[in-house]
Amino acid sequence: MNACPDRRRVHAWLDSPSRKTTPRVSARARMETARLLAGLVLLAGLCLAVATPAAAQQAAQPRVPAADFPRLDAVWPAACRDFDARRAQQLAGLAEQLEVWCAERVWDRQRPDEERILAVVGQLIAAHQHVDRLLDEALGLRGGFVELPDEERREALRRYLEFTSRVIDLSGRLRYLMRDAIDTAAFDLDGSPRGLSRLLDLLSEQRVSIGAAVMTYVLFDPPPGSGFQPYPREIKVKALQLIARTQQVDALPQLAEFVQQPETPTDLAIAAAEVIRRVGLPQEPIPGQDPTLPEPAITARQLKQVLDQRDPAGLSAELRRYHQELLVWLGGRIRRGVTEDELRIGKFRVRAGDWLLMRNPSPYNLFTDLSPGLFTHVGVVAVRTHADGIRRFVIVDLPERGDHIPETNVDLYLLRTLHYFFLRHEDPEVCAALGTAADKLAGNESVFDLTFRTDRVTAVRDRPLDDMRVHTYCAGFLLLCAQQTQAPREQFFPIEEFPAGERCAENLRKLGLSLGENFVSPTGALFSPHLQLVGRREPMYSPDREIKEAIYDYFAQSMIEKQVAPSPDAAQALRQKVAELSRLSSWLAKALARLHNVSEHMDLASAAKAAAAVETLDEIADDAARQFLEAREALLAGPLDQLPPEENTAELRERIGKYRQLHAELYRRLLNPGLSPRQLRLALVEHYSDWGRRRIDNRFFPATAP
């Protein structure tokens, strides 16, 4: 990516599916941030500390209450038993109204007014902060459901999950709108250093993490001959301040590029290096790491090489001291890895034994009576010293593919999801035992259990973990680690879960799947009062992700309500026949397992059935999301004769023409203009979600297909 884009273009990299969000700040993280800012005060002349009271007040002046929230606050439950259907229905309507209200906060793009721009951005910030406070309140209630009587608990739990899922989605949508507003504000204020400075002050004072991701572009000078002047030093300094205050992990790639550019002044390079350390320097890749994993934004070795080449002579004593301290710290990191007991990830830190709960679109979210599930995959943090002598914090998990339990650096693993939680057991000894268990299990042979049984786990309670063949599923891996501690199972999974009805269970069996007795899910751990929420990433909305989730949810709901009739294609049917034959031939089982990257000890016949269903489902969801992205690009591409020469290919023109013909009415309204970008997005999301639903019916539920 060119770090120095034309500043008159919206930054397309922000729309990439790989863009992430940043977790909310905890009390501990606020103290860490205060220490960070106190340290940055010492960077003489760089003004990287907290904005002065006058500047903060000036930045905050345009902020007015974003909306009238009394109705939303009145609907919000104050206790676990208050989660009911009536409130859930009211919340759905109010959430939609608030999103529309925020989407309508605009200014005159033809005559942009600085005060109006800052006021709108301030309103969106206030709205997002209010919704996030409600989400925090909901999460604060999660451990109280175990106290409810049995007859109340199940319904209250389902409504709680519905509420929480809705607010997570709303928070992500408002953050999405806020990102676009900040990007547009930066565009319209670009010619005014004063306006940009005030925007940065506002974002910094309010600790707007997505603002830090948007505003990193001001660190870079425009290309020679572009006709644009470099951004003033004060603007670059304030961008660094914003990243430091928000501890925005997503800014690391841009920080790394900035610090490595030869033209970056030495004092700013040292300041950026210090911000990288405080935000969270990525770890060195594990020897023999999966080559498909992305490279870290920058490593200790690379950062030290940059600082070794910088001569601090002539800088202040404080900067020279920081330069030397950084070199010493980086030298230790290079030789020994992470020597501390915690690994910094932006605003919070993780420890060995912490549980990672990931939230991604999945067909499994509705298959139990504890739904909608908030999380779909899990892992456990372990601290491991590898063959190169480097100590690393890794995530150990059990994926469906593969025949051994993998380990992945925590910072790389987190790139896989737009939203996650970290939970930690309240007892440090239990937490340490969880980390030790994960450490011993890393690299062991594994078999993914498509029957999702937990009795396989309880049967090996007293067996040593070294060299154990682990036969379970993702949440079962959590249970396996948990039973190595002295804490009872109920401290980790306090709520029983059951299949979502007999028809769902019957349909799952037809696909080679089942939910065993005493089933535990990634979501179930959330309700333990003994597991503390120590960090989470702020949710971020993605329209292509919304399409996938709509399709997966439709499939899951159909599995509950309809009769499934699997229809594998020719290749899938052949694979299922070969898998059946492999039961009679060990060499065939080994060959088939190796071909499909699964364990030879798995029930390959059931796995082939499940794979046929999951592959088809994923293909439909991925295809719908891809078509959405291509359609949106085609409708917004502008006149074909104005496409950049390097992009103006016959293939692209044909694709654009196809989508403009398919969505002729939308394109006509877009040209008039009578259609906002948001309205276009909503229409396309609904179109391709419906397309996916029809495909689901045709492939899995033909009796109900139109």
pLDDT for res 293:
87
Instruction: Name which of 326, 309, 222, 220 is nearest 275 in CA terms.
Output: 326
Q: Which token pair is 101?
A: 């209200």
Check residues 541 and 43 and name the one with the higher pLDDT: 541
Predicted local distance difference test score (pLDDT) of residue 678: 87
Is the confidence at residue 498, as pLDDT, over 80?
yes
200 falls in which pLDDT band (50, 70, 90)?
Answer: very high
Q: What is the mean pLDDT of residues 127-135?
A: 94
Quote the pLDDT of residue 683. 96
pLDDT of amino acid 37: 38
pLDDT for 9 beyond 70: no
Complete edge-to-edge strand list for the sheet that includes strand 531-536: 407-409, 391-396, 377-385, 355-358, 420-425, 531-536
| Most confident residue range from 10-14, 68-72, 336-340 | 336-340
Decide if 156 contacts 80 (C-beta within 8 A).
Answer: yes
> Do 236 and 219 form a contact (C-beta atoms < 8 A)?
yes
DSSP string, 465-496: -TT--EEE-HHHHHHHHHTTSSS-GGGT--S-
* pLDDT over 60 at 34, yes or no: no
Question: Which residues, including other chains, have CB under 8 Å from residue 169's CB and lie 6 or more apart?
Answer: 95, 539, 541
pLDDT digit string, tens, across residues 394-428: 999 998 888 899 999 999 999 988 899 999 999 99
pLDDT band at residue 110 under the 50/70/90 scheme:
confident
pLDDT digits (tens, 9 = 90+) for 269-284: 999 999 999 999 999 9
Confidence at residue 482, expressed as pLDDT on a 0 to 100 scale? 97
Residue 32 has pLDDT above 50, yes or no: no
Residue 569, pLDDT > 90, answer no
pLDDT band at 21 (very low <50, low <70, confident <90, very high): very low
658, two tokens = 């196809």
Structural domains present in the chain: 1-52+230-281+284-336 (no CATH), 343-536 (3.90.1720.10), 543-704 (no CATH)
Report the first-to-last Cα separation within the chain, whole angstroms.
45
- How many Cα atoms within 13 Å fall on the side-chain side of residue 206? 29
Q: Convert the pLDDT of each residue in 38-75 to its tens digit.
A: 344 334 345 444 334 344 444 444 344 446 688 889 99
* Residue 288: closest CA among 404, 380, 386: 386
3-state helix, strand, coil split of the chain in percent (to 5) is: 55, 10, 35
CA distances from 243 to 37, 208, 277, 417 (A): 11, 9, 12, 21
Lowest-confidence region among 129-138, 244-253, 370-379, 487-496: 370-379
Mean pLDDT, residues 369-380: 90
Asked whether the predicted pLDDT for residue 668 surpasses 80, the reply is yes
Higher pLDDT, 203 or 677: 203
Helix (H, G, I), strand (E, B) or coil at 447: strand
* pLDDT for 204: 96
- Other CB atoms within a 10 A radius of the CB of residue 461 amount to 9
Confidence of residue 585 (pLDDT cuts 50, 70, 90): low
Please tell me the distance from the alpha carbon of residue 668 to that of residue 517, in angstroms, as a whole number. Answer: 56
Compute the distance between CA of residue 1 and CA of residue 13 in angstroms, rounded to an integer.
8
Strands 446-448 and 470-472: parallel
Least confident of 84-88, 430-434, 497-501, 673-677: 673-677
For position 101, what pLDDT does the model report? 92
Q: Give the pLDDT confidence score for residue 55 in this predicted structure.
A: 44
Q: What's the whole-model pTM score?
A: 0.86
**What is the mean predicted confidence (pLDDT) over 510-539?**
91
**pLDDT higher than threshold 90 for residue 484:** yes
Secondary structure string (H, E, C) spanning 560-591: HHCCCCCCCCHHHHHHHHHHHHHHHCHHHHHH
Q: Which residues contact 96 (CB under 8 A, 6 or more apart)?
A: none
Distances (CA, A) of 229 to 220, 224, 246, 338: 11, 9, 28, 41
Predicted local distance difference test score (pLDDT) of residue 567 = 73
Q: What average pLDDT score do residues 362-382 get?
A: 88
Task: Find, among 415, 378, 420, 552, the residue nearest to 16 by Cα.
Answer: 415
Query: How many of the other CB atoms lie within 10 Å of CB of 330?
Result: 23
Q: Which two tokens stand for residue 167?
A: 């607010």
Torsion angle (degrees, nearest 10) of CA 127, 133, 137, 140: 140
Per-residue pLDDT reduced to its tens digit, 216-268: 999 998 888 777 888 999 999 999 999 999 999 999 999 999 999 999 999 99
Looking at residue 2, its pLDDT comes to: 36
568 versus 42: which is more confidently predicted?
Answer: 568
Average of per-residue pLDDT values in the chain: 85
Cis peptide before 488 (omega within 30 of 0): no
User: What is the reported pLDDT for 579?
Assistant: 53
Three state DSSP letters for 321-356: HHHHHHHHHHHHHHHHECCCCCEEECCEEECCCCEE
- The CA-based diameter of the chain, rounded to the nearest angstrom, is 79
593-629: per-residue pLDDT in tens? 565 566 665 665 666 677 778 888 999 999 999 999 9
Give the helix/strand (H/E) hosting 379: strand 377-385
Task: Provide the pLDDT for residue 453.
Answer: 86
Distance CA 532, CA 136 (A): 13
